[in-house]
């Protein structure tokens, strides 16, 4: 189950994340839970930039049903890290996103994990099929081959 750190080349969509003072825990490293707030931010930034999410207005919203992360190298405030996003699998109403975190100027992941969204109707909270348009955009983040 132990993963090998990925390279920045394995991820097509990258964003910078400015670390914050209180991301560090008492041991002087970014706390493990904080990585998941970055996963959330990376996935939602991608969805918003591609007009797949309009917070407060979208009829379909993504609920998180499964997350995981492996931590290879500690990171610390005040460095600016990068998160890379790719798509592991596109299901009928769910998407497995894969996210890696890179320390400032690093090419190999300091941590990497996943985040599974089930898309549901905002009102009924019942699963909603992923549109052909969304499938099309997400498929650009599938690994080649």
- Minimum distance of a copy of itself from residue 8's CB (angstroms): 19
Question: What minimum distance in Å lies between the beta carbon of 41 and a copy of itself?
Answer: 5
Instruction: Based on the shown chain and the rule CB under 8 A, indicate whether residue 124 belongs to the binding site for a copy of itself.
Output: no
Binding region for a copy of itself (CB under 8 A) out of 4-12, 75-83, 86-94, 135-143: 75-83
By beta-carbon proximity to a copy of itself, the closer residue of 124 and 144 is: 124
Residue 47's nearest CA partner among 67, 64, 65 is 64
Nearest distance, CB of residue 114 and a copy of itself, angstroms: 9
Q: Does 18 bind a copy of itself (CB under 8 A)?
A: yes
Q: Quote the tokens at residue 29.
A: 């490293």
Q: What angle do CA 117, 84, 44 make, to 5 degrees?
A: 40
Binding mask 34-73 for a copy of itself (x = CB under 8 A): x-xxxxxx--xx--x------xx----x-xxxxxxxxx--
8-30 b/e with 16+ CB inside 10 Å = b?
eeebebeeebebeeebbeeeebb
Question: Residues 84-113 vs a copy of itself: string with x where CB under 8 A?
Answer: ------------------------------
- 78: cis peptide before it, omega within 30°? yes
Q: Which residues bind a copy of itself (CB under 8 A)?
A: 1, 15-18, 20-22, 24-29, 31-34, 36-41, 44-45, 48, 55-56, 61, 63-71, 74, 76-78, 115
């Amino acid at each position: 189950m132990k993963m090998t750190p990925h390279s920045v080349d394995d991820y097509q969509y990258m964003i910078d994340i400015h670390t914050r003072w209180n991301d560090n825990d008492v041991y002087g490293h970014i706390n493990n839970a904080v990585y998941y707030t970055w996963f959330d931010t990376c996935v939602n930034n991608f969805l918003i930039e591609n007009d797949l999410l309009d917070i407060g207005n979208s009829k379909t919203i993504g609920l998180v049903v499964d997350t995981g992360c492996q931590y290879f190298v500690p990171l610390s405030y005040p460095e600016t890290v990068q998160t890379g996003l790719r798509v592991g699998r596109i299901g009928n109403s769910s998407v497995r996103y894969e996210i890696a975190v890179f320390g400032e100027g690093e090419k190999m992941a300091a941590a990497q994990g996943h985040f599974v969204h089930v898309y549901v109707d905002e009102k009924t909270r019942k699963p909603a099929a992923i549109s052909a348009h969304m499938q099309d955009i997400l498929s650009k983040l599938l690994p080649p081959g």
